[in-house]
Amino acid sequence: MKTVSFLLTLFVLLFAQNSMAQNNMITASMNTEVREKYIQKAALLRRDEQFSAAVQQLDSILVHQPADAPILLFKGDLLLQARRFADAVTVYKQLLPLAFETTIARINLSYALFMNHQPAKALGYAEKAWINDPANKSAIINYFNALLWNIKTKEAGSFLEQQDSLLSNAQKLVLKARLFTTSGQYQEGLKYYDSLVKTYPDKYYVQEYAEVLLGKKEVDQSSATMLKAKGLFSENEYKSYTNKLKAMQQQNAGTEMVYFNDIAGNTRIENSIWWQQSENKKYRLRASAGYVTLTSKAGEKTSTQFAHVRADERWSRAWTGETDIHLQLIQTHTGEQFAGITGQQTFRYQPNDRRMVGFSVSSDILNFTPSLLGKNIRNHSLGYLTHIMLDGKTGFYSQGAVGILTDRNKRVQFFGSVYRLLRTEPTLKAGINFSALHYADSSIKTYFSPNRYMNTEIFADYSTALPGLSKFYCQMQAAAGMQKIESGKWEPSLRLQTEIGIRLQQLEATLKYQTSTVAAANGTGYQFNWYTARVLFRW
């Protein structure tokens, strides 16, 4: 918002220096004195951060003079400050044909479009603003930002080098910080931000750095950074930050209900409750408990009571982990009872946002059907996972595991995915997946245990605006491909997952549906339907 504030100041100066030129644009329907009174009222309301009320004052002018270019520019700036970005887009598009302060109008229109989830269009107007006025520092900075909004990090880096002589030292630092952060090299980015706020303690730089730290879950450092510079901010500005800080410090609790069935008639019903600590913990705990009922088509019924504890660990910025401990009390359809403790430990190393490797050790009980759960067959496995982005839009993800089962079988799994990010806000991603599954003993029929299984598919992911920008959201993934079991023929496979939800300040509710004909997606090898409803409370 520094650019916006700068432009507001520029407008006031421009207004004072060019009042004669502006007055020539006023029609006889409103005299200069009345117009000036509305402008002064709007300026006072803006000073008090009552931006929407200030807009109403300017609308009193625009009713009579809809083509009053300086007032349209002023209104657009106020709408940006009021975070009414869709309205700001409309106003700036009305202003452009009037050829008044075209560079400023395009810069602000670009920012409004980005905040209205249209980064590609924002880039177009940012480029036009820079081409129209290549020496304008605001146009340079905005075009650079727009390249980052569209994850064009290589182009942004080259552009920054070309404009080096036109930028101040403070501007170079903040743009390099943004470049490194967007490129995934967050540790380098944080170093530049730290140097920036120490050398140039501007409130906009401080706020940007603090919010980046929040995004990396460096809550204490973020809070200390803002507290040190508190005197630079108005009460409302500081409150806006503390609201984001409080959101990171909220714990949550909720309930989840699951209904699952496959075409073989197996049904799974699960009800659970949980509590989870806030995100600002180095070791974040989550505890849950619930009840699961498995029923077969033949009427066999197995029930499980469980308690689960999970800890998300942050040993450093690069090293993280997850510990899961699962306690189950199982009653089979024959009336027998037994208890089991299973779990998983995962270690991840992520030196930057585009490179991650990890490995895990785990133990679990096969529970695909009531009769299988009653056999108490356990799988102990060692696995890996990796995620590598080649640039800002193309990436590779893979995971796999080798497992030893207590029925003396052995299992090897592999999954790999190459994808391309096609757009952001809303996010659209597409790619190709490949998976394989192998069991040493394929004669076992109590669960899906092929000696050789392969699947390849084309998939697409879609998700609406980020949680912080929209109350309602939708996420969908669809895939179509071919699969082969043993030496059989290649057969078609389909998969669909969709989730809709609403996020409010203290409440979140979601409904998810999954279905698949991919044999390895379920331990029975059958097509299934899976419904999950979830309600979460924060405080």
CATH of the domain at 359: 2.40.160
Residue 12 lies in a domain: no
For residue 24, being part of any structural domain is answered with: no
In a domain, 96, yes or no: yes
Q: Could you say which of 202, 228, 248 is where a domain stops?
A: 248
Same domain? 306 vs 225 = no
Of 226, 248, 270, the position where a domain reaches its end is: 248
Would you write out the chain's pLDDT as a tens digit for each of its 539 residues?
A: 444 444 444 343 334 344 334 434 444 457 888 999 999 999 999 998 899 999 999 999 999 999 999 999 999 999 999 999 999 999 999 999 999 999 999 999 999 999 988 999 999 999 999 999 999 999 999 999 999 999 999 999 999 999 999 999 999 999 999 999 999 898 999 999 999 999 999 999 999 999 999 988 889 899 999 999 999 998 888 998 999 898 888 999 999 999 999 988 899 999 999 999 998 888 999 999 999 999 998 888 999 999 999 999 999 989 999 999 999 999 988 888 999 999 999 999 999 889 999 999 999 999 888 888 888 999 999 999 999 998 878 999 999 999 999 999 999 999 999 999 998 778 899 999 999 999 999 998 888 999 999 999 999 999 986 545 568 889 999 999 999 999 999 999 999 999 999 988 889 999 999 999 998 877 766 889 999 999 999 99
Domain match, 333 and 403 both: yes
Q: Does residue 342 sit in the same domain as residue 255?
A: yes
Same domain? 69 vs 204: yes
Can the peptide bond before residue 426 be classed as cis, meaning omega within 30 degrees of 0? yes
Whether 115 is covered by a domain: the verdict is yes
Q: What is the CA radius of gyration of the chain?
A: 29
Question: What are the residues facing 461 on neighbouring strands?
Answer: 429, 477
Q: What pLDDT does residue 20 have? A: 34
Task: Provide the residue type at 236 as one letter.
Answer: N
Is there a domain that residue 16 lies in? Answer: no
Report how far residue 330's alpha carbon sits from residue 274's, in angstroms, rounded to the nearest whole number: 20
Are 386 and 491 members of one domain? yes
For 456, counting Cβ atoms within 10 Å of its Cβ (0-12 exposed, 13-18 middle, 19+ buried), the class is middle
Residue 178, H or E segment: helix 169-182
Do 220 and 256 have their domain in common? no
What pLDDT does residue 302 have?
93
CATH of the domain at 164: 1.25.40.10
Answer whether 320's CB lies under 8 Å from 313's CB.
yes
Q: Mark which of 248, 270, 289 sits at the end of a domain.
A: 248
Give the side-chain half-sphere CA count within 13 A for 514: 13
Q: Do 279 and 140 fall into the same domain?
A: no
The reported pLDDT for the residue numbered 477 is 96
Distance CA 84, CA 113 (A): 11
**Res 209: pLDDT:** 96
What phi and psi, each to the nearest 5 degrees, are found at residue 311?
Answer: -130, 125
- Say yes or no: 211 and 265 in one domain: no
Residue 45 domain-assigned (yes or no): yes
**Residues spanned by the domain of 314:** 250-535
Token code pair at residue 270: 């699960």
Number of structural domains in the chain: 2
Classify residue 448: in a domain, yes or no: yes
Q: What is the pLDDT of residue 50?
A: 93
Same domain (yes/no): 255, 244: no
Same domain, yes or no: 276 and 192:
no
User: Whole-angstrom distance between the N-terminal and C-terminal Cα of the chain?
Assistant: 29
Both 265 and 368 in one domain: the answer is: yes
Cβ 402 vs Cβ 381: under 8 Å: yes
Is 26 within a domain? no
Shared-domain flag, residues 189 and 83: yes
